[in-house]
Structure 1
Amino acid sequence: MNFNINDLVRENVKKLVPYSSARDEFSGEAKIFLDANENSLGSPTTKWYNRYPDPHQQKIKEKLTTIKGVPSKNIFLGNGSDECIDLLFRAFCNPGKDNVIICPPTYGMYEVSAHINDVELRKVPLLENFQLDLVHLETKVDDFTKIIWLCSPNNPTANSLNREDIEIVLNNFPGIVVIDEAYINFSRHRSFVQELAEYPNLVVLQTLSKAWGLAGLRLGMAFAGEEIISIYNKIKPPYNIGQATQEIVLNALDHVEDVNEMIRVLVRERDMMAEQLLSVAVVEQVYPSDANFLLVKVKDARAVYTALLSKGIVVRDRSNVQLCEGCLRITVGSPAENTALVNSLKDFVTTL
């Protein structure tokens, strides 16, 4: 497979002169900053946030290098993974001309971003076992296919895609292959992050929203070869990650063992909840999970959803999604929350 990044990047992006912020042009130490038109008197509530943040989040990347084993030059940080997704469309997909491929059921923002950017979306549904249909996938690829989006562990099916199938795609598709690993911390499978040197067309997405418990901060991570990361940095907003977010994330990254313990608890709760749900009459199937949620097939999904809601328990009704008919997506909660969920389902059975 011949991969050339210059064959994929949009011409307007190649010619783009990126915005140079005041903090891009300065490096080193200083005491007086009169370069960025900030309010030098501070702000009404704090003296700390009147200055613009580091536009490239170098301190965070340095810590991630230690945790992930990836050089900072191979890391891009976005305002949530959604920004990482959107920027790939902007960089590589010509509106009204190029196309991308998704494999539903999968994360909905790939489709939303395609429509926002006026990029043709081609769908290759997963097989009944929620694995890639490689034969069908091959027929959908043409000279204008720029990106293939793969989610593993997949949302909403919770399973990991077969590694060998992903490798076949990486080895044979001359465009960008994105592997969204938002739930990788809960999986038994190893991340593709360590394969960046082998696959120059690979982008791996991860997030601090799930295992790290920082969904409210909106910080996503993209790992890729230096060429792709340089394009990310070329087109991103100048200060896309705020100062407060950077400070909280820097502190959180010092607590890897705490996060690992939370992962152990959630995985244990996930497995216990799956076993308990199988004993509930209204539950027809609990699918295997490599994530922090379960896909559960129930009798009359909408009625079950409504009954849970009446007790103050909110789950996700996925019964109208292809291959997920009759299914609810249930996030693994705290032990008390999981017990309440199971008991509520048992109570629902008694009302049938």
Structure 2
Amino acid sequence: MNFENFILPHIWNLKPYSSARDEFKGKEGVFLDANENPVGSGVSENWNRYPDPLQLAIKEQLANIKSCSTDQIFLGNGSDEAIDLIMRMTCQSGVHNIILCPPTYGMYEVSASINHIEQRKVSLTQHYQLDVEGILQTVDQNSRLLFLCSPNNPTGNKLNRSDIYTLIESFKTGFVIIDEAYIDFSDEPSFILELAKYPHVIVMQTLSKAYGLASLRLGMAFAHPTIINLLNKIKPPYNIGGATQEIVYKALGNKSFKEGAVQLILSERSRLIESLHKIPEVVQIYPSDANFILVHFKRANQLFNFLIESKLITRNRSSVALCEDSIRITVGLSSENDKLVDLISKFYSA
């Protein structure tokens, strides 16, 4: 596929920074090339050497896990870095626009605002599904990015796959970004498996949820090798630190932890939903394919504040369009979920 019309001309012509570890990739030798501290780090482990700028060891693991090739993988400092780089790579302020479908992940809008890119918003339906016709009517020749989050945050539901296919096949002016941060808690197959068929699709995932590595800030983008090459071209030279790479490498090898954590969370999600259904003041529990649920409560704002006072922290989404009087609840451990239900019952019985 010819991506020339989707990428800003200066990105094609950009000469990337060449780091010392780009020029020499070996691990043996006397290193006097990168102005590092030869003494060490002052802690039990030495982190005085710069890390692999392309994180090849991790990408080899991920290629096996995700059924793709290493040249289809970009690793960023959280998915937020990938979002920002994709916008800077494709959109010129005052010329191009992006399409958002609120309520959805807030960093799409924030990153677009930072980069001064026009945002065209087409709200989800009342059932939190895509307004396909509305989106297609909003797209014009300068629409470079269409962001779809499935399972969606903050609503928790997966988007109808047939609608996603329709948009992929109809969006001809740029890239369709499918954010799959919560895919491990869903029964949907990843669109990573569709990249060969749809080269203008970019899939984002994260290690923050199912893998339990939120503190390490490692996000993933999967795309056509040409796009990955451009992202590597414009990223900071050492965007993933050595400590993060080492820990992630170990974590990816512990397949049983991830599988066990997902099963536990899914089991607790079902149990939590069942418990909340017994509380009359719960107006609606929205379907979830994620590790959280969105719940419509009576007097949601007061309940949220009561929970905060009890040192139980949830996320009040009542100010978000289509999420009025709703609280987003991350599925916790059994004891944490029990405490939540007890506190909610106590609030409404007072």
Q: Could you say which TM-score interval applies, normalised by the shorter chain?
A: over 0.9
Q: Who is 2:22 aligned against? A: 24
Say whether residues 1:160 and 2:196 are aligned partners. Answer: no
Q: What's the CA shift for 1:27?
A: 2.7
SS at structure 1 position matched to 2:247: helix
Q: What's the CA shift for 1:52?
A: 0.3
Instruction: Show the 5 A alignment for 1:251-270.
Output: 251-270=250-269
Match of 2:136 among 135, 138, 154: 138
Q: Who is 1:222 aligned against? A: 221
Contact map agreement 1:206 1:221 (CA 8 A) in 2 = yes
Which residue identity is paired with 1:169?
L
Q: Who is 2:340 aligned against? A: 341
Gap regions ≥5 residues in structure 2: none
Say whether residues 1:52 and 2:27 are aligned partners. Answer: no
Q: Who is 2:310 aligned against? A: 311
Q: Distance in 2 between matches of 1:221 and 1:48?
A: 27
Q: What's the CA shift for 1:300?
A: 1.1
Q: What's the CA shift for 1:166?
A: 0.6
Q: Distance in 2 between matches of 1:313 and 1:347?
A: 13
Say whether residues 1:99 and 2:94 are aligned partners. Answer: no
Q: Who is 1:237 aligned against? A: 236
SS at structure 1 position matched to 2:98: strand
Q: Distance in 1 between matches of 2:53 and 2:132?
A: 40
SS at structure 1 position matched to 2:54: coil
Q: Who is 1:78 aligned against? A: 76
Say whether residues 1:276 and 2:275 are aligned partners. Answer: yes
Which residue identity is paired with 2:258?
V
Q: Write the deviation string for residues 260-304 of structure 1: whole angstroms up to 9, x where unpaired.
A: 011001001001101110111221110110000000000011100
Most deviating of 40-49 and 99-108 = 40-49
Q: Distance in 2 between matches of 1:26 and 1:335?
A: 50
Say whether residues 1:64 and 2:62 are aligned partners. Answer: yes
Size of the alignment, in residue pairs?
A: 349
Q: Distance in 1 between matches of 2:161 and 2:216?
A: 31
SS at structure 2 position matched to 1:148: strand
Q: What's the CA shift for 1:349?
A: 1.1
Contact map agreement 1:281 1:346 (CA 8 A) in 2 = no
Which residue identity is paired with 2:97?
N
Q: Distance in 1 between matches of 2:176 and 2:117?
A: 16
Instruction: Show the 5 A alignment for 1:110-129.
Output: 110-129=108-127
Q: What's the CA shift for 1:29?
A: 4.3
TM-score w.r.t. length of structure 1: 0.98
Which residue identity is paired with 2:141?
D
Q: Distance in 2 between matches of 1:155 and 1:262?
A: 20
Q: What's the CA shift for 1:43?
A: 1.7
Q: Who is 1:289 aligned against? A: 288
Which residue identity is paired with 2:132?
L
Q: Write the deviation string for residues 8-27 of structure 1: whole angstroms up to 9, x where unpaired.
A: 11122122100000100113
Q: Write the deviation string for residues 69-115 of structure 1: whole angstroms up to 9, x where unpaired.
A: 11100000000000010000110001121100000000000000000
Q: Distance in 2 between matches of 1:166 and 1:326?
A: 28
Which residue identity is paired with 1:341?
L
Q: Distance in 1 between matches of 2:75 and 2:268?
A: 31
Contact map agreement 1:203 1:223 (CA 8 A) in 2 = yes
Q: Distance in 2 between matches of 1:151 and 1:283?
A: 26
Q: Who is 1:187 aligned against? A: 186
Say whether residues 1:150 and 2:148 are aligned partners. Answer: yes
Which residue identity is paired with 1:214?
L
Q: Write the deviation string for residues 229-265 of structure 1: whole angstroms up to 9, x where unpaired.
A: 0110010000000000000000001111221011001
Q: Distance in 2 between matches of 1:271 and 1:292?
A: 11
TM-score w.r.t. length of structure 2: 0.98
Contact map agreement 1:282 1:345 (CA 8 A) in 2 = no
Q: What's the CA shift for 1:4?
A: 3.0
SS at structure 2 position matched to 1:6: coil
Q: What's the CA shift for 1:46?
A: 4.1
Q: CA RMSD in A?
A: 0.9
Q: Who is 1:327 aligned against? A: 326
SS at structure 2 position matched to 1:165: helix
Q: What's the CA shift for 1:40?
A: 1.1
Which residue identity is paired with 1:340?
K
Q: Distance in 1 between matches of 2:256 and 2:82?
A: 27
Which residue identity is paired with 2:120?
R
Q: What's the CA shift for 1:30?
A: 2.5
